Amino acid sequence: MSRLLENVCSELQRLPGIGRRTALRLAMHMLKMDGEHVDSLAQSISSFRHDVRYCRSCNNLSDNDICPICSDERRDRSTICVVEQVQDLMSIENTGQYHGIYHVLGGVISPMQGIGPSDLKIDLLADKLLTGEVKEVIIAISTSVEGETTLFYLTNRLKAFPDVKVTTIARGIGFGDELEYVDELTITHALMNRREVR
Amino acid sequence: MSRLLENVCSELQRLPGIGRRTALRLAMHMLKMDGEHVDSLAQSISSFRHDVRYCRSCNNLSDNDICPICSDERRDRSTICVVEQVQDLMSIENTGQYHGIYHVLGGVISPMQGIGPSDLKIDLLADKLLTGEVKEVIIAISTSVEGETTLFYLTNRLKAFPDVKVTTIARGIGFGDELEYVDELTITHALMNRREVR
């Protein structure tokens, strides 16, 4: 086997979800692509890894010290939405319905994986609350055991700021979900948090 | 969204089977990888695309003009196995049971996709047969409509070399396949090509 092909395949296999066969398929596809396109792919990978930064204010990925959301004058600085990771921030941004700012924790508390509160950007969040500008913190993290642990830790920590309202996003039946296939815990929560319609 | 992240995602999405979400997941994983590993990934992609060559003798991918298989003195030059693409050659090599040489067509005849015989390395194969060294050509291409068309074209073309035996790999029930789930055409061929066991 060609050493160049062998190299590119074993490098691609370092990526999650890419096995031998997929690596080979990607490599063979690159041969059919324009040389320039392949170079710009390679270039964009290196630049992204080396040049991207974390926003000093919210820990979002950014090209500068402060991310576009934090530096946008039109965003409502009195509301902070706390998310686990950058992908979650993007999902919320995609709705176009949220106009506050964010705070990216960079993970959840997981004793099994050796991730404690000090590994997350919780102090940075507390610093922002010290300014007294924030009125509400919306905690939008997953309902896994680790997520619930993190939620518990955060709410405790936020007791130091009694004037700040702390909320979590609603749990319930998703749009398009069929009740028949929804798990019991979700249905239980959806029942408990029922809303009056008339 | 960070422009660097946007760039790497849209470049990754040029690859087959990689959508928006996968591109994002790969990019986020790169952030956790060593910078050096990410650079060697990017580097291996560019070198592969620009430096890999096609073997002048069999059209296999190679680092040099002649691939390691064609330049291996121990391979039996009297048998040529004709395959559609490099991946097929690798699958056969992985069995460790084939000691002849190969010929990579680089595709199959497909009028729908505008691929005619002249787009494949068929002349190169015919040139090799002219030396008179070859005793058998094993055609190992897929049983799709295009594959069958290519097989038909090749066998016709090889009539010019009456001393060369032309064979195709056996079609039948794969090891581990359950008869219940095998398609009718395969079963029909497996019945027709039955072998005496005593």
Residue A50 has pLDDT above 90, yes or no: yes
Find tokens 């096995």 and name the residue.
A19
Residue A71 has pLDDT above 90, yes or no: yes
Residue B192 has pLDDT above 90, yes or no: no
- Chain A, residues 150-169, CB within 8 A of chain B, namely none
From the list A2, A12, A37, the residue facing B61 with the nearest CB is A2
Whole-number pLDDT of residue A127: 93
Whole-number pLDDT of residue B177: 87
For residues A5-30, one letter each, b for 16 or more C-beta atoms within 10 angstroms of the residue's C-beta and e for the rest, the string is bebbbebbebbeebeeebbbbbbbeb
Residue B77 has pLDDT above 80, yes or no: yes
Least confident of A43-52, A95-104, A158-167, B165-174: B165-174
Residue A79's φ and ψ, nearest 5 degrees, are -125, 125
Q: Report CA-CA distances (Å) from A42 to A120, B11, B35, B46, B62.
A: 31, 9, 13, 6, 21
DSSP letters for B95-150? HT---EEEEE-SS--BGGGTB-GGGTTHHHHHHHHHTS---EEEEE---SHHHHHH
For residues A74-90, one letter each, b for 16 or more C-beta atoms within 10 angstroms of the residue's C-beta and e for the rest, the string is ebebebbbbbbbbebbb
Average pLDDT, chain A: 93
Whole-number pLDDT of residue A44: 96
B194 near A CB under 8 A: no
Higher pLDDT, A89 or A1: A89
- Chain A, residues 63-82, CB within 8 A of chain B, namely 63, 67-68
Distance of alpha carbon B180 from the chain centroid: 30
Q: Determine the distance in angstroms separating the CA of B63 from the nearest CA of chain A, rounded to an integer.
A: 6
Q: Report CA-CA distances (Å) from B21 to A105, B28, B133, B150.
A: 20, 11, 53, 38
* For A39, nearest residue in chain B (alpha carbons): B46
Mutate to test the interface with B, among A11, A28, A51 (most CBs of B within 10 A): A11
Mutate to test the interface with B, among A1, A31, A64, A71 (most CBs of B within 10 A): A1
Residues of chain B in contact with residue A25, where contact means CB-CB under 8 angstroms, are 16-17, 87
> What SS3 state is found at A102?
strand
As a whole-number percent, the residues of chain B with pLDDT over 70 amount to: 100
Residue B198 has pLDDT above 80, yes or no: no
Element (H, E) at A152: helix A145-157
| ipTM confidence | 0.81
Contact A5 B35 (CB under 8 A): no
B44 near A CB under 8 A: yes
Residue A103 has pLDDT above 80, yes or no: yes
Average pLDDT, chain B: 93
Q: How confident is the model at residue B17 (pLDDT cuts 50, 70, 90)?
A: very high
Note the pTM of the prediction, 2 decimals: 0.80
Whole-number pLDDT of residue B33: 94
Whole-number pLDDT of residue A198: 76
DSSP letters for B162-174? TTSEEEEPPPSPP
Whole-number pLDDT of residue A84: 95
From the list A1, A31, A48, the residue facing B49 with the nearest CB is A31
> What SS3 state is found at B175?
coil
Structure token digits, residue B53: 């060559």
Q: Determine the distance in angstroms separating the CA of A127 from the nearest CA of chain B, rounded to an integer.
A: 24
* β B53-54/B61-62 pair status: antiparallel
* For B4, nearest residue in chain A (alpha carbons): A48
From the list B24, B41, B86, the residue facing A45 with the nearest CB is B41
Residue B30 has pLDDT above 90, yes or no: yes
Distance of alpha carbon B6 from the chain centroid: 34
Rounded Cα distance between A13 and A21, Å, is 9
In the predicted model, what is the mean pLDDT of residues B146-174?
92
Contact B11 A50 (CB under 8 A): no
Residue B111's φ and ψ, nearest 5 degrees, are -55, -35
- Chain A, residues 47-66, CB within 8 A of chain B, namely 47-52, 60-63
Residue B180 has pLDDT above 90, yes or no: no
Burial of B176 (0-12, 13-18, 19+ CB in 10 A): exposed
Comparing CA positions, the residue from A23, A26, A29, A3 lying closest to residue A11 is A23
Whole-number pLDDT of residue A184: 87
| Residue type, position A96, single letter | G
Contact A15 B29 (CB under 8 A): yes
Higher pLDDT, A183 or A65: A65
Rounded Cα distance between B53 and B186, Å, is 37
Rounded Cα distance between B193 and B198, Å, is 16
Least confident of A87-91, B73-77, B121-125, B189-193: B189-193
